[in-house]
Structure 1
Amino acid sequence: MPPVSTEPSPSSGREPHLLRQVAESFGVDADRYDRARPRYPDALIQRVIAASPGLEFLDVGCGTGIGARQYTAAGVTVLGVDPDARMAEVARRTGIDVEIGNFETWDPRGRSFDAVVAGQAWHWVDPVLGAGKAAQVLRPHGLLALYWHVFDPPSEVARPFDDVLARVAPDAPLQTPGFGLQQANLSRAVEGIRTAGGFAEPEQWRFEWQRRYTRDEWLDHLATTGQLTLLGPGDVATVQDAVGTAIDSLGGEFTMHYVTLATAASLSARP
């Protein structure tokens, strides 16, 4: 079974950053989002820090502060930017400083940063305008680092999810096309960086890791994904029941295989 992703599909025919209804749906239950969404591999966090010229970061689309807290724990000073006040409030409760706004139009008020990072969020940003804005707020040799998770659940879990979702939401704009989706997000980001100019050639990184999920933990996560945040409570329950039954058949828990894909580019020396 190929890895799947719970994010917008290029097959929708629209650039992900234009799907604002989806982008703004995650704050419906921001506390659940913060509780259920996966963290980032430590190897990624440490590599970003090592590649940055300093320890003042801007976290674009910081959401509830999942990644920002990991950087803070590693000694980084983080300012978050997010368009959803509900998500930002959760981040603030955990000690993260967040400003509300879309990154492309956000006013940095003369501030600059050693790194601009975005986890599971850059597909909601115009890839060219976003890279151009990052170049404006980065210090000399500053780093732009963007990354996404790919989920690879066992077929016994993935197949019931796909089947029931096709029944309850056959016309949903989101699909689960697999590894190719996040690779498409990565490629779109790389091309945006190249088009915007001002950066060295982007590097591409890959991190593989695992996490064990109980039935309740995975159903909690599913409720935060793009497919389900736009469904009614009854349809969400139908999906969760089918997936929960599948997990029960595996003994009530399973191992999720993750791949985290990243691209990173340093600001070129200005003449």
Structure 2
Amino acid sequence: MRLGSAEELPLDDGSMDAVVFGQAWHWVEPGAASREAARVLRPGGVLGLIWNLRDEHVDWVARMTAVMHPSSAEAMFADDGPRVATPFGGLERSRFRWTRSMSRADLFAMVRSRSYIITAAPEERARIEAELSDLFDEIGALGDARIELPYVTEAFRATRP
């Protein structure tokens, strides 16, 4: 096993065809991580950045996020999305929409798994759960009923010169 970070990859120079970050680039320092990815990539190698985000173009999903507060990734996308640094140029972007069938229990489990919910004060967690309970009632997520939670996968690619 090798331990490392986006800013210090335990890989040889020019040894990789691709470096991919799934649900993670919003936690890195983009300048240092870009330089490090470029170091380990062969010329023409690809840096890939991928996120699965709730689709907030849907009213009830936007309301759910407002109750929960945006995650670090959601805040990054509200601020024009991910950034890479030299030697990479711009990012190519692809977007894919899909849904996940979820019960009320699934929705609450998803909410409770978020680090910003886990670390919230007990009073804040109680407020979030109460407001989401009302929202889930409104959208028909009752008992074992299933609803479709819309997502969008945001995928980005930058090629090493």
Q: Taking structure 1 as the reference length, what is the TM-score of the superposition?
A: 0.48
Gaps of 5+ in 1: 1-97, 166-173
Counterpart-to-counterpart distance in 2, 1:214 and 1:133: 42
Distance 2:37 2:55 in 1: 31
Q: What's the secondary structure of 1:105's corresponding residue?
A: coil
1:248 to partner: Cα distance? 3.1
Opposite residue 224 of structure 1, the aligned amino acid is S
Structure 1 residue 134 displacement after superposition: 0.4
Question: Partner amino acid for 2:91?
Answer: P
- Of 11, 27, 36, which aligns to 1:124? 27
Q: Work out whether residues 104 and 129 of structure 1, in 8 Å CA contact, stay in contact via their aligned partners in 2.
A: yes
What is the rounded CA distance, in whole Å, between the counterparts of 1:201 and 1:142 in structure 2?
15
> Relative to total residues, which structure has the larger helix share, 1 or 2?
1
* Structure 1 residue 261 corresponds to structure 2 residue 150: no
Greater strand content:
2
User: Counterpart in 2 of 1:20?
Assistant: none
Equivalent position amino acid for 2:157 in 1 = A
Contact 1:213/1:254 (CA < 8 Å) preserved in 2? yes
> Secondary structure of 1:103's partner?
coil
> Relative contact order, CA 8 A, sep 6+: which one is greater?
2
| Partner Cα distance (1:257, 1:119) in 2 | 19
CA distance in 1, matches of 2:25, 2:64: 29
Unaligned runs of 5+ in 2: none
Aligned position for 1:244: 133
Identity of aligned residues (%): 28
Residue by residue, what CA displacement relative to the aligned partner does 1:31-63 show, whole Å, maximum 9, x if unpaired? xxxxxxxxxxxxxxxxxxxxxxxxxxxxxxxxx
Q: Which residue is equivalent to 2:52?
A: 149
Match of 1:150, as an amino acid? L
For 1:251 and 1:101, how far apart are their aligned partners in 2? 42
The equivalences for 1:1-271 within 5 A come to 99-108=2-11, 112-152=15-55, 155-156=59-60, 158-159=62-63, 162-163=66-67, 175=70, 181-182=76-77, 184=79, 186=81, 188-189=82-83, 192-193=84-85, 196-197=86-87, 199=88, 201-249=90-138, 250-252=140-142, 253-268=146-161
Q: Distance in 2 between matches of 1:150 and 1:160?
A: 13
TM-score by length of 2: 0.75
